[in-house]
Structure 1
Amino acid sequence: MSDYDYDFFVIGGGSGGVRAARLAASMGKKVGVAEEFRYGGTCVIRGCVPKKLFVYASQFIEHFEDAHGYGWSVGETRFDWKELVANKDKEITRLEAAYRKGLSNAGAEIFDSRAELVDDHRIRIVSSGKTVTAEKILLATGGRPDDSHAINGGELAITSNEAFHLERLPKSILIAGGGYIAVEFANIFHGLGVETTLIYRGREILKNFDMDMRRTLHATMEEKGIRILCGEVIDRITRSADERLDVITSGDRNLKVDEVMLALGRTPNTDGLGLEAAGVATDGKGAIVVDEYMRTNVDHIFAVGDVTDRVQLTPVAIHESMCVIETLFRDNPTRPDHDTIATAVFSQPEIGTVGLTEDEATEKLGEVEIYRAVFRPMKHTLSGRQEKMVMKLVVDGQNRKVIGAHILGPDAGEMAQLLAIPIKAGCSKEDFDRTMAVHPTAAEELVTMYSPTYRIKDGVRVD
């Protein structure tokens, strides 16, 4: 019999923590899991799931416009923000219940409470003050919107957390940031009829994405009516007598808006977790330091997901948790593979990407081939919409492997997920070329770009 109350205790009920707790409990381990807010974590409760629902909602205005080209006459339309929020909340409640049911059915003990480390084997359940012991511990507390950016008047702004629960839809909004959260919300609010401005300190939005995707999306967003201010930051926010917000920027602009949203990165949730008491090391940002097996410097304490500040994606946290279970309970030490991770930006149009960008490949390799197609997708031909689709393959000029794929356009995220398989498997451009196309589809371009658009050798482009 174990000397501990639990074989395995998980602090954090997000996607990673829930997966690990459920798997361990299903193996017959005595498992406890504690979450201070709601089960499902950032992704399910106030992240990718509700955001995608909002993306769907914001797209309907374009669907209504496009319908005319296909013979449909759409009558008067009306949007109800409160109804969207209420329906979103119902779905989130359903999903949280499913997470709880999965844990309960597996036999895990659920604590609706914050939990903190007392030492390397003891955990305090804050709501009751009770202290329990665990042989092995997993920290999966995720992250939160970064509030470390000292903006004068920043307390008047909201983050993505509050954006999901606004009492009313603002008439105008200024969004600070240039990452995927800022870009996605800019498209969401604009699609819902909000006058939207995006302000970003960088020279171009979506740092670390392929430049073709960044520039084309930027141009398309501006054509839709979204104002984008690059190379600027917010200097000061004040509330005026009419309850609106006055914003002064580093470019000496004076903007008057109903809401300001800060999307300036995320911070690991490690404050007050008791890491010092347990001897768990963190880095300069407060992220938990782990090795390739997700083990901290304390041998029996592991950490996964955003709290480690490595790859901030829900599927990564889930995969890391599954690797921890293999390592701890199946005598099969397993390292998560963080190479060639597909991802998507649910902008309008959306971006799907996997592998190296053109710039990364150029810096890393001596010879690169770029296959690129720009066209108006078939679904836009009758609607009259002028948006272009961009498809791009990055190929190693020496071994002919496809090492990157980047798509801007309808269903780009779906295509990126499937492209991740052949790219992960190391398929060559010849493998793509001998694959039959599905016609008529946009994706057929991926297997019919037979000649490179240009080559790059030793950093020099050759057309």
Structure 2
Amino acid sequence: VIYENSYGQFVSPHRLKLTDKKGQTKEITGKNIVIAVGGRPKYPDIEGDQKYGITSDDLFSLEYDPGKTIVVGASYVALECAGFLHGIGREVDIFVRSILLRGFDQQMATRIGDYMSSIGIKFHHKTIPTRLECLEQGKPGKLRLHYRETLESGEIYESYQDCNTVLFAIGREACTQDLNLDKIGININKINGFKIKTKNEQSIHVPWLFSIGDCIDEQTMPHGKPLELTPVAIQSGQLLARRIFSNSIIMMDYYNVPTTVFTPIEYGAIENKKSLVYLARG
């Protein structure tokens, strides 16, 4: 195995340009190419979001106390981060656009939300941030998050809330935008998070291109339930390697995958095809 510590970009079918940290480049070719670039948390595309806000990637490397924190989002990442911040004694508010834990059993999601509310975490439902501004510089500083809330009457209410840290946990986007995928006939877009459409980890548009992990829009996954999980990426990569190099025919099964949500009240589930059909039908 030859390891290249370089950034790869497509030049043409089967051909990549590699750029190392010194800026030196060279080109290589491959019969099959596997993309496993993963993903990164995304921002909501509002004024001040990237300048003053942080994501879950930043939270664990902060060199200062985050203080009072507003978490924007209702994914398992959002609720987990809110849970442990509350656990270390920080005041936490969660801004929820629609529902908690989309893609999970909603009865369990409601129980998790109720429990988190009971221990002092504040939820703001049907709330969308519109602008983030800095009132005072510092570590932490003082921020003001402007938002729009839809009341039960249907009326739109605009207001703001002050805090020390705003953490965005509204989903992830694949790190594929700079790979020059258009050079090989693949178009990616923001609608599906710049992911590569695959079936059994093989591109549905380019037969010699494969992809695994968070950067795939896999057609054999449960509908509307992307499995952005490290063990899933590892398993699918191992099975793919065996199919390419050892004539294996074993495919990755994206059903019956155990998932755990590490919120203050923990939740684990294994959903198979029958249970997902049941949930979809209500």
Report the TM range for the smaller structure's normalisation: 0.7 to 0.9
- Measured against aligned partners, the alpha-carbon deviations of 1:28-71 in whole angstroms (never above 9, x if no partner) come to xxxxxxxxxxxxxxxxxxxxxxxxxxxxxxxxxxxxxxxxxxxx
Contact 1:201 1:231 in 2 (8 A): yes
1:238 correspondence with 2:133: yes
Partner of 2:9: 116
Q: C-alpha displacement at 1:351, in angstroms? A: 0.8
Q: C-alpha displacement at 1:253, in angstroms? A: 3.6
Equivalent residue letter for 2:133: T
Greater strand percent: which structure?
2
1:186 correspondence with 2:186: no
Q: C-alpha displacement at 1:238, in angstroms? A: 1.1
Match among 290, 300, 303 for residue 211 of structure 2: 303
Distance 1:112 1:359 in 2: 41
Equivalent residue letter for 1:137: I
Contact 2:9 2:180 in 1 (8 A): yes
Equivalent residue letter for 2:195: A
Distance 1:109 1:233 in 2: 48
Contact 2:201 2:211 in 1 (8 A): no
Partner of 1:91: none
Q: C-alpha displacement at 1:288, in angstroms? A: 0.9
Partner of 1:354: 270
Contact 1:293 1:333 in 2 (8 A): no
Q: C-alpha displacement at 1:329, in angstroms? A: 0.9
Instruction: Quickly say closer, same or farther: Cα 1:276–1:213, change in 2 above 3 A.
Output: same
Equivalent residue letter for 2:253: D
Distance 2:136 2:87 in 1: 29
Partner of 2:253: 337
Match among 126, 130, 141 for residue 19 of structure 2: 126
Contact 2:259 2:270 in 1 (8 A): yes
Unmatched runs of 5 consecutive residues or more in structure 1: 1-107, 365-458
Partner of 1:222: 117
TM-score by length of 2: 0.83
Partner of 1:426: none
1:315 correspondence with 2:231: yes
1:142 correspondence with 2:38: yes
The structure, 1 or 2, with the larger RCO (C-alpha pairs under 8 Å, 6+ apart) is 2
Equivalent residue letter for 2:198: V
Contact 2:10 2:184 in 1 (8 A): yes
Contact 1:145 1:266 in 2 (8 A): yes
Instruction: Quickly say closer, same or farther: Cα 1:345–1:363, change in 2 above 3 A.
Output: closer
CA RMSD, aligned part only? 2.1
SS in 2 for 1:344: strand
- Which ranges of 4 or more aligned residues in structure 1 deviate by more than 4 Å? 356-360
Equivalent residue letter for 1:268: A
Contact 1:296 1:303 in 2 (8 A): no
Contact 2:95 2:128 in 1 (8 A): yes
Equivalent residue letter for 1:160: S
Equivalent residue letter for 1:213: M
Contact 1:290 1:296 in 2 (8 A): yes
- Measured against aligned partners, the alpha-carbon deviations of 1:135-180 in whole angstroms (never above 9, x if no partner) come to 2211111111123x22232121111111111110122100000001
SS in 2 for 1:109: coil
Instruction: Quickly say closer, same or farther: Cα 1:338–1:241, change in 2 above 3 A.
Output: closer
Q: C-alpha displacement at 1:211, in angstroms? A: 2.3
Partner of 2:152: none
Match among 178, 182, 193 for residue 276 of structure 1: 182
Partner of 1:250: 148
Q: Percent identity?
A: 27
Q: Which has the larger radius of gyration?
A: 1
1:263 correspondence with 2:191: no
Instruction: Quickly say closer, same or farther: Cα 1:293–1:215, change in 2 above 3 A.
Output: closer
Distance 1:188 1:340 in 2: 28
Equivalent residue letter for 2:16: I
Q: C-alpha displacement at 1:289, in angstroms? A: 1.6
Distance 2:180 2:76 in 1: 32
Unmatched runs of 5 consecutive residues or more in structure 2: 150-157, 218-225
Distance 1:271 1:359 in 2: 32
Distance 1:152 1:247 in 2: 10
Contact 1:281 1:297 in 2 (8 A): no
TM-score by length of 1: 0.52
Count of aligned pairs between the two proteins: 256
Instruction: Quickly say closer, same or farther: Cα 1:279–1:174, change in 2 above 3 A.
Output: same
